[in-house]
Structures are given as C-alpha cells and as structure tokens.
C-alpha cells in the first residue's frame, strides 16, 4: 500500500512542477540577474534533454524555466519601477486598509495607492486622523521599507510619512461591509466577555492583537502558539470547521454548496493574505472533489495552489506568512500521516485502535512544527519546544470558541458568550503555565541552525515516503540530528558572555548575558522597551534577569519594568523613586548617584546627545549624536536611521543589529 502511494505521489504533475517553479523565482529574487541567468541556462538544458528523452522530469525543467521568466518579468515591470519612488515626495490618493500598532505604542496605517498605474501597498506614519476604509488625498514622502517579516507578509515595498492630508471620505464596498460585520462581532465579544479573556479571544479568533497585553503576547511566543494571533490558514480552517459543524453530515449536497460559498466569504472576512488565499483555494479543491468522486491528494493540491498564487502574485513566493503556511501544511497533511502510519506499525495490535489516533495527531503536529522551524530560525532565532503540544491543546478550544462566536455575533444572545469565556480562560491557563517557563524556548541564533533544521525536515520527508527500512534509518538520523541541534544550542547558551543592544531614539537598553541569565540597563525614560528586551532575552536563551537598572525611568519606564517582570523573573531592580512607587511587590533599590551600571567588570551609562557624558566603558546615546561628537567610551551606541560620520567607536545599532560586545568568561 505504501509503495503504491509512493508511485502515485511521484507521478503527480504539479508535484514535479511547483517546487522548481518556486526555486526559479527565489533564485532570481535573492540571487539577482547573474544567478537567474545561470539557473535559467541549466533549467533550459534540462528541459530540452528530458523532452527529447520523453521523461516525466520534463515538468521539473519547465517549472524552473517558468519560475525564472515570471520573476524576471515581475522585477522589470513592477518591482524596480516601484522602488524607484524611494526617496521621493508624491501626491497620491490612498485607501486605508488597516491600522497597525508599533512596538512603541504609536499607530501606523497600511494603505493602497497607484504609482504610475501600478497598485502599491504602503506602510505610512502620520495618518492619525484616518480610519479603515477611508480614501484620502495626501502628500507623502516615500522610502524603501525595511525587509521585516510583517512588511513582506503584507507585500509592502515602500514606507513613508504623510506630510499633508487634503481630503478624506469614507468608501462603502463589499470589503468595507465585511469589516463592519467583523467590527460588530468584536463589539459583541467585548460587551459580553470581561478581563483579559476578551483580548485573547479577539487575538485568537479574529487576529486582532491590538488589545493583547505584552505578557500574553510573550506567553504565546514561548509556548509556540503566536501563529494563532495572526490571521492565517489556521483561522480559515477553524472557521470552516465551525461552519460545517452546523450542517449535518448526511446533507452532502448542502455541505458541498456551503463549502463552495464559504471559501470566498472567508477570504473577505479574514482578508486576502497569501496564507488565507492558500487555505481558501485548497478548501475549494477539496470541496469540488466530493461531487466529482475524486480523491484530492494533499501534496498535489498544495502544489496547484502554490503555482496559481505565485503565478498571479510573484511576491507571494517570498512572503513569510505564505511560506510558513505552506510548510505547515506540508508537515501536517503530507509528511505527518504516512509517518504516523509507519510509526503505528510498532504499536501492538490490541492497542492500535486506542493509540493510533493520538499518535497520528501528535506526529502531524510535530511534523508541522519541524517543517516551519527553518523559517522561524531565520526570522526569530528561536523555536518553542512545546509548540506542537500547545497547538493540539488550543485547536479544539479555538473551534468551540469560534462556533459560539458565530452564534453570538448572529443572534446577539449573551448565553453564547459563556462557552467562549470558559475556553479562553482555559487557553489563558495553558499559555500562562507554559509561557512563564522560558526554558521551553530553544535559542537557534547560530548561522548553521536554519540549515540543520532544514535537513531535519528533509530527513522526515524521506522517512515518510520511503520503505520501512528507510523509515527506520532516517528516523534514527532525525533523532540524532535533533539531539545534536539541541545540544549545540544549550552549549552556546551556557558559554554566552556578551552585551547586546536594543532600542530606539527615545529609549534603549544594554543586555549583559552571563550563560542563561542576564542583567539589563535601560537608558532614557524606558517606555515601550519591554517587548524588544524580552525578544532578545528569548532569542539568546536567558531565563531570568538578575539585575535591572533604569536610572531615568518615568511612568512609561515603570510600565515597561512591570511588563518585563510578568514575562520572566527579575531578582533586583534599581530605578527612580517615581518608578519604584509604581512597582509595589517588586524588589526595588535606589539608583546610584553617578548612574553608572557595573556588571561583570564592565561599566555602562546613558548620555543624551546634548549633555556631557559620564565615564563608562559602554555609552548608550539617547537621541542622535552630533556629527562632530566624540566619545571616550570603548563603545558608544545609538539608534537612528541616518548614516552619520562619527568617530570609530560610535556604533549605530539600528543599522547593525548584530553588533555586540564580547565579554571574558569569569
């Protein structure tokens, strides 16, 4: 049975075409024209050779050639002309699509406009008076967007600032109508559910994390469940399951029509992100296979969807959300089931009926987590060790909550809010229990980590689709490689002695790592710094803060310290009298008179750009230093976008995020 499935899998046309199609596009995007030309020549030669030999592999060559051509044309006709607008000022009519919150608690807007007849998505600041679905005539300054995961996920190539707003009008369309429905649903949620549960429900059910507290945002990351707060294919799958639960299974025709109608409505409801489009198209393919009495193979369906979406929207191939969505489906629907089936062969016959279902669920969830790990490693430098378990626990809770959320939104009866509240309370307990244990987040911040995790995923793929001998061999290799990755990570954590820097022009922090603990010095007022500090601590494997110093903290700084204390333990806090008064229950001591932080034989101090600096080994500059500024410190660190000609010991940690100061081991 396994050999038959394997041969069928290999013969599927899109399984051979789609991977090479994506590879051709990625080569052109990341490698440029020369790499694209070399790849195209090799692919064209392979295509001609396989065509003459009448080999099925001709589709591999065809996919590679098409991928290079599509991405090259996209670069010439769209990508480069749009980036030419960087550094210019333009007058344009924009349509506001979304309002996003930055880590500094300010708001920015995501808007669409047309530049030279091409539709462009922008991320803009300075549009405080604009609301979702508003059309406005504005003057904006444009620059190239930072290549962050969030920007690529939204297809944002340019960012900018709104200088002037001339006219604003609200536009009513289908998309706006769907957003009104979403807003009404959220209104019912906030009205009928109290405390933190309402914000967690909004984040997990609607992807609206604007009200989610930093501590629960951190719990979600540590426990490996942060994907539930970003609208993705998972939300689409949960909502579709909730909708189909209402329709009886015996009503096949009704279920078919409901499924077919739900796909486009779900896209409108959650937004047309690449991962949601992927889920919608796969859902439609599965729905159409029912009346045709055909079995839709998950891998072939996935490859069809990859080809269609990438063909019409080439930037999707580098979209982080889409890539993680595809890899997650590859793990849970393609690799997981055959791997679980083979693993169950070792279970005694009497126990198979009982143990097979939980084994299959766990194996599929683990495979999904491992398949997305290379991307997580590249972007987030860490991975949760319990992500697979957390996903399994939260999935049924989300399904129940989503079902009653639909009923609450439609009928507006407070009775339906009770199950949502209970499920979210349970989810809170799960997240708090796992999220407070920082050791469950494995740091993978060394260069080879993503390669090793990609090889691990490849081993699982081979084990899943090989014979039993191959399964045993590559299963052992997978265990050995997984153990090696874990051992290397732990070794690096226990030998970490360095200073890392995070921040902005208003507040910054120096983090002194000593094995799996850290000391933190916060320069400036400290507002909005907690999430950045916690992220670096998580990426480098720190499980607690031994000392925290914030010598100039105000109300915002006190809030940041409190947020950090909820994310991980803090043994001692040295801060201002004002901040200490706002932090009852925490171990606070007065700040020293010289305001110099001493840790592991190194001194750190803060200096604003307009006043004289204290004597210290490391100086954190609050603001942008003057061009003629010099410093006696061994390293003067500041955060700004501008490139300034400063003395050699000045470092812009905003543009050089990997900058750190190595310390000698004590």
CB neighbour burial string for 70-103, b if at least 16 within 10 angstroms, e if fewer: bbbebbeebbeebeebeeeeeebebbbbeeeeee
- Residue 222 C-alpha from the chain's centroid: 13
Element (H, E) at 632: none
Q: Give residue-wise pLDDT tens across range 442-485.
A: 999 898 999 999 999 999 999 998 889 999 999 999 999 999 99
Higher-confidence position of 294 and 166:
166
Q: Domain map of the chain by residue range?
A: 2-83, 89-171, 497-662
Phi/psi at 89 (5° precision): -115, 135
Contact 614, 607 (CB under 8 A): yes
In sequence order, the 6+-apart residues with CB closer than 8 A to the CB of 284 are: 259, 260, 263
In sequence order, the 6+-apart residues with CB closer than 8 A to the CB of 404 are: 416, 417, 419, 420
Q: Region 164-184: what's the mean pLDDT? A: 76
The span from the CA of 643 to the CA of 628, in Å, is 13
Q: Region 281-298: what's the mean pLDDT? A: 70
- CATH topology classification for 89-171: OB fold (Dihydrolipoamide Acetyltransferase, E2P) (2.40.50)
Contact 477, 452 (CB under 8 A): no
Q: Give residue-wise pLDDT tens across range 247-273.
A: 666 666 776 777 677 777 777 677 667
Query: Residue 330 gets which letter from DSSP?
Result: I
In sequence order, the 6+-apart residues with CB closer than 8 A to the CB of 453 are: 370, 373, 374, 377, 383, 444, 485
Instruction: Map tokens 């001609």 to a residue.
Output: 48
Task: Give me the pLDDT at residue 570, please.
Answer: 93
Contact 453, 370 (CB under 8 A): yes
Integer angstrom CA distances of residue 598 from 213, 569, 617, 660, 663: 32, 20, 10, 17, 13
Element (H, E) at 382: strand 382-384
In sequence order, the 6+-apart residues with CB closer than 8 A to the CB of 233 are: 275, 276, 278, 279, 325, 328, 329
The Cβ of residue 117 has, within 10 Å, a number of other Cβ atoms equal to: 6
Query: Residue 634 gets which letter from DSSP?
Result: S
Contact 450, 378 (CB under 8 A): yes
Task: Give me the pLDDT at residue 609, please.
Answer: 46
In sequence order, the 6+-apart residues with CB closer than 8 A to the CB of 575 are: 548, 549, 550, 551, 553, 557, 558, 561, 583, 588, 591
Task: Give me the pLDDT at residue 7, please.
Answer: 40
**Minimum mean pLDDT among 147-151, 385-389, 442-446, 480-484: which range?**
147-151
> What residues are paired with 123 via a beta bridge?
110, 159
Q: Is the pLDDT reported for residue 9 higher than 50?
A: no
Q: Give residue-wise pLDDT tens across range 76-106.
A: 888 888 888 888 888 888 888 777 766 555 6
Task: Give me the pLDDT at residue 187, please.
Answer: 87
Q: If DSSP codes are grouped into helix, strand and coil, which group holds residue 626?
A: coil
Q: Give residue-wise pLDDT tens across range 570-590.
A: 999 999 999 999 998 888 999
Task: Give me the pLDDT at residue 615, please.
Answer: 80
């Amino acid at each position: 049975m396994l050999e038959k499935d394997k041969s069928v899998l290999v013969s599927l046309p899109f399984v051979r075409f789609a991977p090479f199609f994506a590879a051709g596009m990625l080569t052109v995007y990341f490698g440029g024209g020369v790499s694209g030309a070399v790849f195209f020549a090799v692919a064209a030669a392979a295509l001609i050779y396989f065509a003459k030999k009448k080999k099925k592999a001709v589709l591999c060559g065809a996919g590679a050639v098409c991928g290079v051509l599509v991405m090259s044309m996209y670069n010439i006709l769209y990508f480069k002309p749009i980036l030419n607008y960087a550094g210019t000022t333009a007058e344009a009519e924009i349509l506001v699509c979304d309002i996003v919150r930055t880590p500094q608690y300010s708001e920015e807007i995501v808007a669409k406009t047309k530049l030279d007849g091409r539709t462009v998505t922008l991320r803009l600041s300075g549009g405080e008076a604009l609301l979702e679905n508003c059309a406005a005539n504005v003057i904006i300054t444009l620059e190239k967007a930072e290549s962050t995961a969030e920007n690529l996920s939204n297809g944002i190539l340019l960012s900018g600032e709104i200088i002037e707003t001339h006219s604003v009008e609200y536009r009513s369309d289908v998309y706006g109508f769907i957003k009104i429905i979403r807003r009404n649903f959220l209104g019912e949620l906030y009205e009928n559910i109290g405390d933190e549960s309402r914000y967690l429900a909004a984040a997990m059910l609607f992807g609206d994390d604007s009200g989610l507290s930093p501590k629960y945002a951190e719990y979600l990351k540590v426990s490996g469940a942060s994907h539930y707060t970003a609208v993705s294919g998972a939300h689409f799958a949960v909502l579709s399951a909730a909708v189909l639960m209402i329709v009886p299974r015996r009503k096949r025709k009704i279920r078919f029509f409901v499924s077919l109608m739900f796909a486009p409505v779900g896209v409108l409801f959650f937004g047309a992100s690449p991962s949601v489009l992927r889920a919608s198209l796969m859902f439609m393919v599965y729905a159409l296979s029912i009346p045709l009495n055909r079995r839709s193979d998950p891998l072939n369906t996935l490859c069809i969807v990859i080809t269609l979406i990438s063909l019409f929207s080439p930037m999707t191939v580098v979209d982080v959300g889409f890539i993680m969505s595809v890899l997650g489906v590859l793990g849970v629907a393609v690799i997981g089931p055959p791997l679980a089936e083979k693993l169950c062969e070792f279970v005694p016959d009497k126990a198979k009926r009982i143990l097979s279902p939980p084994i299959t669920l766990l194996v599929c969830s683990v495979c999904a987590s491992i398949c997305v790990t290379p991307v997580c490693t590249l972007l987030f430098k860490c991975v949760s060790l319990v992500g697979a378990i957390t996903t399994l626990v939260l999935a049924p809770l989300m399904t129940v909550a989503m079902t009653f959320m639909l009923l609450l939104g439609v009928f507006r009866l407070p009775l339906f809010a009770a199950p949502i509240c209970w499920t979210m309370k349970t989810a809170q307990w799960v997240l708090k229990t796992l999220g407070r244990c920082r050791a469950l987040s494995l740091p993978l911040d060394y260069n080879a980590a993503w390669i090793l995790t990609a090889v691990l995923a490849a081993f699982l793929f081979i084990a899943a689709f090989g014979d039993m001998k191959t399964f045993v061999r590559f299963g052992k290799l997978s265990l050995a490689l997984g153990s090696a990755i874990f051992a290397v990570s732990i070794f690096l954590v226990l030998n970490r002695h360095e200073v890392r820097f995070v921040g902005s022009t208003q507040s910054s922090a120096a983090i002194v790592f000593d094995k799996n603990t850290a000391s933190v010095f916060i320069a400036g007022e400290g507002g909005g710094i907690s999430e950045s500090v916690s992220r670096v601590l998580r990426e480098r494997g720190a499980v607690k803060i031994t000392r925290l110093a914030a010598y100039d903290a105000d109300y915002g700084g006190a809030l940041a310290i409190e947020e950090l204390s909820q994310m991980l333990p803090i043994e001692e806090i040295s801060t201002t009298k004002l901040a200490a008064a706002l932090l009852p229950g925490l171990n606070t001591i007065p700040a020293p008179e010289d305001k110099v932080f001493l840790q592991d034989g190194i001194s750190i101090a803060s200096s604003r750009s307009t006043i004289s600096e204290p004597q210290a080994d490391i100086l954190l500059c609050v603001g942008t230093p003057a061009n003629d500024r010099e410093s006696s410190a061994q390293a003067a660190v500041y955060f700004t976008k501008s490139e300034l000609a400063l003395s050699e010991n000045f470092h812009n940690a905003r543009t050089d995020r990997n900058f750190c100061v190595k310390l000698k081991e004590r």
